[in-house]
Amino acid sequence: MRSVDVVIVGGGMVGLLLARALHAAPLSIAIIDADDGSRPLTETPERRVSAVSVASQRMLQRLDVWSEITSQRLAEYTHMHVWEQDSFASIDFDAADVHQQALGHIIENQAIRRALWEKVSKQSNAEIIAERLQKIAVGSREAFITLADGSALSARLLVGADGANSIVRQQTGLPFTFWDYDHQAIVTTVRTERPHAHTARQVFTPYGPLAFLPLYDEHLCSIVWSQQTAQAQRLMSLDEKAFSHELSVAFDMQLGVCEVIDERFSYPLSMRYARQWVSNRVALIGDAVHTIHPLAGQGANLGLLDAAALAQTLHALAERDEDIGDAELLRPFERWRKTEAVKLIAAMEGFKRLFSNHDPVLKLVRGLGLSGVDKLPFVKQSFIQQAMGLSGELPVLARAGGSESQFPE
């Protein structure tokens, strides 16, 4: 049985960012994931994309990963336009309002993952193990991990970064809260008649929000169409021509006629929130502890900030020669990230409920509210700061002027 300091289950963006952020720490790391993250991008855009905030961009730059991402493909967005269908409610955001070059970037998940994978695979203190997790046993001083091929590892800390259906969370019995939104998100790539002009757009329809996220080609957008389950199933049953027509109409023809150029897929939307993020020898981050409605596109950023916060905590513990797997020593990390996650979950739930109500009086209030905010520069700046991931208590790596040299804090 091999022994390491930290085992990270999950080699996605969140797990790999944690490993990369620990590259200078006096800790040995093993990342377990059977899926090869070095796969190059497909010729057509990947269907899974993320709206990467300025805070996340800072972290990727400071970990020497950003240049590898930009050598693949990405699209910055400098504007955001949000409106409600059949209403005068609308609001616009511009990077110039906060003296920034961009509000964020739309990047294919595999581009981020591949760049991180390449860096982590060359780290002297890290090893990527291409195998599936089979069993976990947690002792007082170590966690024991058995893999599908029969091999085993022990670690002072086991980190679950293995997604919404986390095996680590399930096998360690950490409790979580769950509710179904009764919505499904339809995701695909579309070609638009008019150029997207580096603008992220979202319309609230009677059945749920529809987002158009600009890609590297000015006539390509990734869409996330969140609809009530029955409506989503109806839309998925349409042929491409009929679906494209309904999509264009639902989007108020903002970019002209839209044409679906890739396979559509849908997935159910739910809120998951772990009531406990750490226990002795175990910590959870990313979708393993929280999934939120995609209407603000902040799920990936929330997970990346979890990873950076945990890395900062582990650096500090290692520097003080303290036990990195002791649950009580990990409580400050749990309280910190729980607070930030709860604020975002509450905000997304509030927006969803606000725009799900079809009462005409409430619709009028929404219109007045959005239009009012649009005319208040200081209030708008607060919204923009949140969208850019620059509000709340940020890890060192995400702060303006922050750097690894400030580890531990």
Low-confidence ranges of the chain (pLDDT < 70): 295-296, 348-381, 383, 402-409
Is the residue at 137 inside a domain?
yes
Is the residue at 346 inside a domain?
yes
Distances (CA, A) of 126 to 39, 122, 195, 294, 366: 19, 8, 43, 32, 50
Output the pLDDT for position 408: 44
Is the residue at 280 inside a domain?
yes
Is the residue at 165 inside a domain?
yes
271-289, pLDDT tens digit by residue?
A: 888 999 999 999 999 999 9
Output the pLDDT for position 92: 85
Is the residue at 232 inside a domain?
no
Range of the domain at 124: 2-73+107-178+270-355
135-186, pLDDT tens digit by residue?
A: 999 999 999 999 999 999 999 999 999 999 999 999 999 998 888 888 999 9
40: CATH: 3.50.50.60
Counted domains in the chain: 1
Contact 282, 158 (CB under 8 A): yes
Contact 103, 95 (CB under 8 A): yes
**What's the predicted TM-score (pTM) here?**
0.92
Residue of 172, 171, 168, 210 whose CA lies nearest to 190: 210
Is the residue at 404 inside a domain?
no
Output the pLDDT for position 25: 96
Is the residue at 383 inside a domain?
no
Is the residue at 80 inside a domain?
no
Output the pLDDT for position 220: 97
Output the pLDDT for position 409: 42
Output the pLDDT for position 277: 97
Instruction: Give the C-alpha separation, 90 to 252, whole Å.
Output: 13
82: left (phi over 0), alpha (psi -120 to 50) or beta: beta
If DSSP states are collapsed to H, E and C, what string results for the chain?
CEEEEEEEECCCHHHHHHHHHCCCCCCCEEEECCCCCCCCCCCCCCCCEEEEEHHHHHHHHHCCCHHHHHCCCCEEECEEEEEECCCCCEEEEEHHHHCCCCCEEEEEHHHHHHHHHHHHCCCCCEEEECCCEEEEEECCCCEEEEECCCCEEEEEEEEECCCCCCHHHHHHCCCEEEEEEEEEEEEEEEEECCCCCCEEEEEEECCEEEEEEECCCCCEEEEEEEEEHHHHHHHHHCCHHHHHHHHHHHCCCCCCCEEECCCCEEEEEEEEEECCCEECCEEECHHHCEECCHHHCCHHHHHHHHHHHHHHHHHHHHHCCCCCCCHHHHHHHHHHHHHHHHHHHHHHHHHHHHHHCCCHHHHHHHHHHHHHHHCCHHHHHHHHHHHCCCCCCCCHHHCCCCCHHHCCC
